[in-house]
Amino acid sequence: MTDRKVLIVDDEADMRQLVRMYLEKENFICVEAEDGQQALELLKSQPFHLIILDIMMPNIDGLTFCMKVRETSAIPIIFLTARGDEWDRVYGLKIGADDYVVKPFSPSELIARVDAVLRRFQPSAKKEDEVLHFGPIEINVKGRQAFINKEPISLTLKEYDLLLFFCQHNGQALSREQLLERVWGYDYVGGVRTVDTHIKTLRLKLKDQGNLIQTVWGIGYKFEV
């Protein structure tokens, strides 16, 4: 593919150019932004497949930028930062990042992580009327039906929405707050325990495939095939 477009957000020009050089060798199209404010403007004017994001930047830092993006978009985000403490990594994933790479980094590892994150998001790029396949699970998006090994699953409205959201973010750690906002909506007045209750019943209905929904301690949940 030659049309994969990446937004590189870092206040250090040398770092942006280094990342750009590695990505362009793999046929990525790269656009640079020196801070979160400039990156937000670029997101308004053109589409991107992935964002590579530093944390410590002027104007709008990476953490704030990530939270702003997650208010309206599920575009994949990889933090690329010198802040490698466990708290920073956990918090970055909790607010919506899809991966976290610590500087200094291996070019081959960065490319591998970029490719892995983009593979996870392939299903969400399919047309709405297509049937999505995730291992033994099959989802007819237009018909709002789910199947395991061709057998229909009886799901409530929110259970179906939750399963679809998980599948569209295969392999991504999602916080309870993120699931509540994206599946139930920003105006929902219930607590995050609603998420736990629905996941418990969804796991039961998925039967021997219920373990595809994994608990990620300190963050929330992850669906992975």
Sign of CA dihedral 163, 168, 171, 175: negative
Half-sphere exposure of 106 (CA within 13 A, CB side): 4
- Residue 127: its pLDDT value, please? 46
- Residue 122: its pLDDT value, please? 61
Buried b (16+ CB within 10 A) or exposed e, 72-85: eebbbbbbbbebee
Strand partners, 214: 222
Q: Which domains does the chain have, with CATH numbers?
A: 5-121 (3.40.50.2300), 125-223 (1.10.10.10)
Output the pTM of the full model: 0.58
Within 10 angstroms of residue 49's Cβ, the number of other Cβ atoms is 19
- pLDDT per residue, tens digit, the chain (225 aa), is 446 899 999 999 999 999 999 999 999 999 999 999 999 999 888 888 899 999 999 889 999 999 888 877 778 899 998 876 777 778 888 888 888 888 888 888 899 989 888 877 664 444 445 788 888 899 988 778 889 988 888 888 888 889 999 988 888 888 888 888 888 875 555 677 888 999 999 999 999 999 999 999 888 899 988
Closest C-alpha among 192, 168, 189, 190 to residue 179:
192
CA 170 to CA 119: how far, in whole Å? 9
CA 160 to CA 208: how far, in whole Å? 17
